Amino acid sequence: RKEVEQDPGPFNVPEGATVAFNCTYSNSASQSFFWYRQDCRKEPKLLMSVYSSGNEDGRFTAQLNRASQYISLLIRDSKLSDSATYLCVVSETGGSYIPTFGRGTSLIVHP
């Protein structure tokens, strides 16, 4: 069983739509949480970190629910350029902070 689970999608949405991705993690000792973006045939790049209080960066909002071991990413007013795969990443504490990746959620934004 993968430690970090994501719905693979694809999520196919029109421009301007709001879309939300969810991610669950199994290790309650996890301390660091991130969303990465990966374009086709490219390397992953950090989209945003996820903080306990939740955080927002423009059209993107990330939330963390430690009790339910759940992370979310909300994208408002989707753009064509948002089409990509979104990777949930969790690092655990208590030794080596090794990033563990979910399998990714594919987003396709169409005109």
Q: What are the distances in angstroms from CA 96 to CA 44, 50, 91, 109?
A: 21, 19, 9, 37
Least Å distance, CB 8 to other proteins, is 7
Least Å distance, CB 41 to other proteins, is 8
Least Å distance, CB 32 to other proteins, is 5
Least Å distance, CB 48 to other proteins, is 10
- Of the candidates 68, 7, 70, 78, the one whose C-alpha atom is nearest the C-alpha of residue 33 is 70
**Extended strands (E) in 7-78:** 11-14, 19-25, 30-38, 45-50, 55-57, 60-65, 70-75
Instruction: State which residue, 44 or 109, has the beta carbon closest to other proteins.
Output: 44
Instruction: State which residue, 76 or 100, has the beta carbon closest to other proteins.
Output: 100
Instruction: State which residue, 18 or 26, has the beta carbon closest to other proteins.
Output: 26
Distance between CA 9 and CA 105 in Å, rounded?
Answer: 5
Instruction: State which residue, 49 or 69, has the beta carbon closest to other proteins.
Output: 49
- Contact positions vs other proteins (CB under 8 A): 2, 8, 31-32, 34, 42-46, 49, 87, 89, 91, 93, 96-104
Q: 6 near 88, Cβ under 8 Å?
A: yes
